[in-house]
């Protein structure tokens, strides 16, 4: 399905999520894209492949997913990778040796780890900055940068970066703009429409939505960047498997429905936590007191399902988390089931403690990925768990 029929405006998000790249199979009429597990494809004559040759280079199920993702983010094309980290490393490959990356300081811990412990050794220079501070970020861009890497909202503090203003400033200073859009998904935020060059996702999260597949997506506006990513993916091999591609195509069909419910449930949970006697602080952009609330309303169409809250100490955080019965203690996020994570000892343990503290990630911070269960059960679970603190 083309995004646009002649004479009609572009089709809506939920329609594209179900139909873009997902055409009925011409051979059988099957309305679900076939899962093509073939590693290799027959050639009629030596050296004369058809559309496909070898599944690292190209695979019909992965191609369908890439068309679907490109349509949802509004890019020229997409590349589906083995994990979110594989996608992020491919994006950093656009920076030449000696180049400087200005990046969000409370990005996902793995982004910090690959920058500092892997790519710095290859000659890339990283400056980690609070990108919710627009003036400070622009000052860093003025010092010269090849790339601005933004995560917004951030993980786990839910800080908001001003995408339009920072993309304009980066362009003026000759830096590419990459946005990790994992937390919002294209349903709530489309960075390419606000001037970003490249969007990355850990599709392990909302795009998959069922916690049953690790993957990553890169979407680019510029066909030259896409060509580079495809070359690199074929050369280095970090492809998404046909089965994981097929799962993501299935998940995409319910992305709009799931995101609405995640957002609805998280708003209710944030409101409840915000007034609770045992909670010192709640970080959720949907709360009017959140410093990025107004900006979120301008650049996102929802606030999403992620939030964090502080109960003061490691011991109190542990007691609350161990008392949860519907929320599971687990890393990751964005699945239909609600999860609770302790950033200081789990997802963000690889960030040096002084830096973690400077970012506001204290030992009492708990991050929630609010799922799509009945909201009454989620609220009761949190009430009971917080009640154990007295």
Nearer to ligand PLP, 178 or 279 (CB): 178
User: What would the x/- binding string for ligand PLP be over residues 209 to 228, using CB under 6 A?
Assistant: -----x-x------------
Instruction: Report the residue number, 59 or 185, with the smaller CB distance to ligand PLP.
Output: 185
Which helix or strand (DSSP H or E) is residue 255 part of? helix 255-274
CB of 186 to ligand PLP, least distance (A): 14
Q: What separation in angstroms does the CA of 239 have from each of 5, 137, 220, 357?
A: 32, 33, 17, 36
Distance CA 266, CA 269 (A): 5
Quick one: 60 or 343, whose CB is closer to ligand PLP? 343
Strand extents, DSSP E, the chain: 77-81, 100-104, 125-129, 147-151, 176-180, 198-202, 216-220, 281-283, 306-310, 328-329, 339-341, 365-369
Q: Which of 180, 244, 363, 381 is catalytic?
A: 180
108 in contact with ligand PLP (CB under 6 A): yes
**Is residue 8 classed as helix, strand or coil in its secondary structure?**
coil
Stretch that binds ligand PLP, among 175-183, 247-255, 321-329, 373-381 (CB under 6 A): 175-183
CB 248 within 8 A of CB 213: yes
How does strand 216-220 pair with strand 281-283? unpaired
Residue 50 in contact with residue 43, Cβ under 8 Å?
A: yes
DSSP letter assigned to residue 207: T
Q: Which of 16, 62, 205, 367 is catalytic?
A: 205
Segment contacting ligand PLP (CB under 6 A): 39-47, 66-74, 179-187, 278-286? 179-187
- Asked if 85 interacts with ligand PLP (CB under 6 A), we say yes
- Of these, 74, 110, 312, 360, which contacts ligand PLP (CB under 6 A)? 110
- Subset of 225-254 contacting ligand PLP (CB under 6 A): none
Whether 308 and 156 have beta carbons less than 8 Å apart is answered as yes
What b/e sequence results for 232-263 when a residue is b if at least 16 CB atoms lie within 10 Å of its CB, and e otherwise? bbeeeebbbbbebbbbbbbbbebbbebbebbb
- Which residue's CB is nearer to ligand PLP, number 60 or number 109? 109
Examine the residue annotation and report whether 180 is marked as an active-site residue of this protein: yes
Residue with nearest beta carbon to ligand PLP: 84
Name which of 253, 209, 259, 258 is nearest 18 in CA terms: 253
With CB under 6 A, what is the number of residues at the site for ligand PLP?
15
Neighbouring-strand partners of residue 125: 100
In the complex, minimum distance from the CB of residue 94 to ligand PLP, in angstroms, rounded to a whole number:
17
From the CB of 159, what's the least distance to ligand PLP, in Å? 13
Residue range at the interface with ligand PLP (CB under 6 A); choices 2-10, 83-91, 231-239, 365-373: 83-91
Instruction: Check residue 194 and report its DSSP letter.
Output: G
> Who's near 244: CB < 8 A, 6+ residues apart?
213, 214, 215
Q: Least Å distance between CB 183 and ligand PLP?
A: 6
Is 374 assigned a catalytic role? no
253 in catalytic set = no
Q: Which residue among 59, 71, 202, 338 contacts ligand PLP (CB under 6 A)?
A: 202
83 is a contact residue toward ligand PLP (CB under 6 A):
yes
Active site residue 205: yes
Could you list the residues that contact ligand PLP (CB under 6 A)? Answer: 83-85, 108, 110, 151, 155, 180, 182-183, 202, 204, 214, 216, 332
Cite the active site residues.
Answer: 56, 108, 180, 205
């Amino acid at each position: 399905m083309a995004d646009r029929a002649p004479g009609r405006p572009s089709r809506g998000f939920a329609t594209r999520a179900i139909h873009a790249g997902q055409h009925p199979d011409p051979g059988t009429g099957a309305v679900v894209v076939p899962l093509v597990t073939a590693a290799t494809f027959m050639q009629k004559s030596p050296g004369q492949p058809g559309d496909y040759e070898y599944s690292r280079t190209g695979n019909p199920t992965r191609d369908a997913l890439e068309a679907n993702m490109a349509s949802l983010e509004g890019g020229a094309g997409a590349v589906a990778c083995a994990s979110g980290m594989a996608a992020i490393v491919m994006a950093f490959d656009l920076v030449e040796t000696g180049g400087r990356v200005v990046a969000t300081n409370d990005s996902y811990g793995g982004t910090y780890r690959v920058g500092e412990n892997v790519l710095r050794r290859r000659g890339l220079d990283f400056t980690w900055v609070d990108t919710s501070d627009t003036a400070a970020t622009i000052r860093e861009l003025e010092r010269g940068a090849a790339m601005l890497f933004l995560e917004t909202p951030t993980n786990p503090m839910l800080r908001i970066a001003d995408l339009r203003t920072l993309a304009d400033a980066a362009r003026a200073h000759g830096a590419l703009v990459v946005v990790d859009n994992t937390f919002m998904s294209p349903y709530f935020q489309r960075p390419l429409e606000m001037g970003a060059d490249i969007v990355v996702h850990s599709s392990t999260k909302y795009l998959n939505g069922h916690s049953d597949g690790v993957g990553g997506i890169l979407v680019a506006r510029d066909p030259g960047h896409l060509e580079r990513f495809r070359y690199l993916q074929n050369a280095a091999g970090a492809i998404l498997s046909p089965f994981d591609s097929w799962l993501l195509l299935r998940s995409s069909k319910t992305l709009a429905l799931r995101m609405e419910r995640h957002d609805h449930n998280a708003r209710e949970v944030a409101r409840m936590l915000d007034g609770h006697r045992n909670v010192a602080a709640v970080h959720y952009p949907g709360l009017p007191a959140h410093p990025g609330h107004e900006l979120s309303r301008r650049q996102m169409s929802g606030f999403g399902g992620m939030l964090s809250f502080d109960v003061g100490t490691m011991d109190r955080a542990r007691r609350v988390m161990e008392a949860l019965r519907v929320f599971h203690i687990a890393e990751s996020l964005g699945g239909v089931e609600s999860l609770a994570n302790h950033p200081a000892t789990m997802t963000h343990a690889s960030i040096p403690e002084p830096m973690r503290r400077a970012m506001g990630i204290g030992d009492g911070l708990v991050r929630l990925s609010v799922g799509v269960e009945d909201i009454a059960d989620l609220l009761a679970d949190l009430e009971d768990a917080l009640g154990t603190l007295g």
